[in-house]
Every structure is written in structure tokens, then in C-alpha cells.
Amino acid sequence: MREILEAIGKAIVEGEEEETRRLVEEALQGGVDPRKILEDAMMPAMEDIGERFSRGEAFIPELIVAAEAMQRGMEALKPRLAEGERGRGLVVLGTVQGDIHSIGKNLVRMCLEGAGFEVVDIGEDVKTERFVEAYREHRPDILGLSALLSSTMQRIPEVIEAVRAEDSGALIMVGGAPVTQEFADRSGADGYAPNAFEAARKAKELLG
């Protein structure tokens, strides 16, 4: 099993989209737990490419192709993560303004769907007013905000304040690599989770 997980990580880092998808399917067929594929192969690969980028050893084009390979692998995982019960509640999910990172949000969506939530994904680079509009339109049980940059995470308290002006009882969950429990608390969020699996657990907990 270690070989195939390593091969998946390598395919992502090298941006091999088709190979990533094929290997993820092969691992699933071989009985490897989808959560293990995500946590032990796919996520570490994204961290690896991120660290190389920080050290100046990888550049934006490499980040983009790795992200595309990651997304392709996620397509193969989706049916397995999304199977299960339905009707737990509605979540509106988006990445804040100025931030185009989508992978983490998409994974949170898949895990929430897998846990039985209906998810309206309003995309990336979502303006604060658009969050308020989407809240008004869908009246979700939970609003989820994602931010991957230390600059854009500053939008989180702004969105929370604007949405609470619309509905003081709105339940809001936040996450993304730079976001911490402490930041979430300071921003007035109801919930924080460090990864997609915990996000689904937290959402269930928030709705009792």
C-alpha cells in the first residue's frame, strides 16, 4: 500500500493529472480507505509543493499543475466520499474575496456531502456582499468560509459581521490553512475545523 500512496503523491507533485486519477482509482479498487489516500498521499503532496514554493524551488506553474492533478484525483475520490445519508441540513460554502484557492473548500464540500449535508458552493473570490446575498437567498443552516492567505483571512470577521447584521443567529464555520481556533473565536465564528473530515464532524455538532 505504501508504494501506491507514494506514487499518488509523486504524480501530484509532478502535475500528472491522468496518472493521479488512474492511481487513485487503482488504490480504491485495491481496497485502500479514501481517507487514507487523502491524508497520507494527496494532502502531504500539496504541502510538499507548497514548501518547495516557499523555498523558491517551485514556481506558480508547478503549483497550478499540481493543483490540477490534485483536483483530478479528488474527482476519483468523490463518489466514495459522497456516499451516505442525506438531509442533515444545508451549507453555503465559499472562499473569501481576493482568494482563489479552491481545493480545500472543494474537499470540505465533498466531506460535508458525504456526511449527508446539501452544499451550495458559491465559489472562490466571493465578495462579502455576495455572501450576504447567498445567505439571504438560501437561508442555510450553516455558512462556511474558507481562506488560504493570511491577507484574505482578514475578510472572515468582515463577512461574519455582515451576515450577522442580516441574521443575528446565523451559524458560521471557518477554515483554511492560516486559520486557527483562536482566530475563529476572535472573529466570532461558531465553529472551526483544521481539515475536511473535522469540518463534517463540526457541522453535525453545530446542528446538534
Question: Judged by CB under 6 A, which of 9, 34, 73, 104 binds ligand B12?
Answer: 104
| Burial class of residue 86, CB neighbours in 10 A (0-12, 13-18, 19+) | exposed
Please report whether residue 20 would count as binding ligand B12 according to CB under 6 A: no
Q: Residue 186 to residues 41, 156, 157, 183, 200: CA-CA distances in angstroms?
A: 33, 10, 8, 5, 22
- Give me 165's grid cell: 447584521
Give CA–CA dist 167/139, Å, rounded: 9
Give CA–CA dist 96/187, Å, rounded: 14
Please report whether residue 65 would count as binding ligand B12 according to CB under 6 A: no
Question: Judged by CB under 6 A, which of 67, 90, 162, 206 binds ligand B12?
Answer: 67
Question: Judged by CB under 6 A, which of 59, 139, 150, 207 binds ligand B12?
Answer: 150
Please report whether residue 207 would count as binding ligand B12 according to CB under 6 A: no
Please report whether residue 144 would count as binding ligand B12 according to CB under 6 A: yes
Contact set with ligand B12 (CB under 6 A): 43, 46-47, 49-50, 53-54, 60, 63-64, 67, 98-105, 107-108, 144-146, 148-150, 173-178, 193, 195-196, 199
